[in-house]
Structure 1
Amino acid sequence: MSDFPDAVRAMMEQFFADIKAANANGPKPLDIVRSAFPFDVQPDHQADAFHYALREHGDYVATGGRDWHDDRRRGLRSFYAMLRQENLVITYCPSQGWGYEQRLPKDDDLIVRIEDPTDEQEIIWRFLPDHLEP
């Protein structure tokens, strides 16, 4: 997914620069990413593989994969590959749990289907540019 529009690329790069520049008294990058998690996940659904994969994606966005071991990077790459190869987007319904659906044009490069995403969610919960992937 390296063909990002210039505006999206600029927003993402500014977001990552802002995370790196967060001062000691400001919110930590992981806190920023976790507060932008797109779903209020029910306790029964928190052990699901999709929940885990999305948290890994968020952690990678926040840390840039700093101090990640190869297996952890490989797992996240496999998650991205599955979504790309099958043209899928992750969905969540509090009453039914996690699932996936075929990607629609409105999903753009998001890895989750979010109704009315915030600007932060649009930046965080999408495929990363090739040069930033694990």
Structure 2
Amino acid sequence: MAWLVVHLAAVAVLAGVGWVVQLVVYPAFRLVGADEWVRYHGTHTQAISWVVALPWFVQGVSTAALLIAPAAGGRPAAVVLAVLALVTVVATVLTAVPAHGRLAASRNAADVAVLLRANLVRTLAWTGSTVFAAALLV
């Protein structure tokens, strides 16, 4: 049960950050001028990494712990949480990281749109994890 509470806390933080990024941060990228872009994007990338690193690490550890010693809902619930966690990793590695790599050099509206789509996938997965983990605790 303790790992499920830890998991819930981690994914709730990530869902909250994800929604702020989705509705505020990435749309605001369009407002940054070309002369400021490289510095702005670099600062954003470094800062957001510090914000998400610990909760994402905790999500990974708690997911592994729940797969090893399932809590409420048993192994099927742990597998659902693991699949949702995997979705966030895949969306990040295959889509968001390459887009950020391209954006490091210059702002491109197409890459901002790619980030919005990738982040929406991650945020929906984190939100789903939050709702599912909370339901398991009821």
| TM-score for the superposition, normalised by structure 2 | 0.28
Of Structure 1 and Structure 2, the greater helix share is in: 2
Of Structure 1 and Structure 2, the greater strand share is in: 1
**With CA pairs under 8 Å and 6+ residues apart, which has the higher RCO, 1 or 2?**
2
Compare CA radii of gyration and give the structure with the larger one. Answer: 2
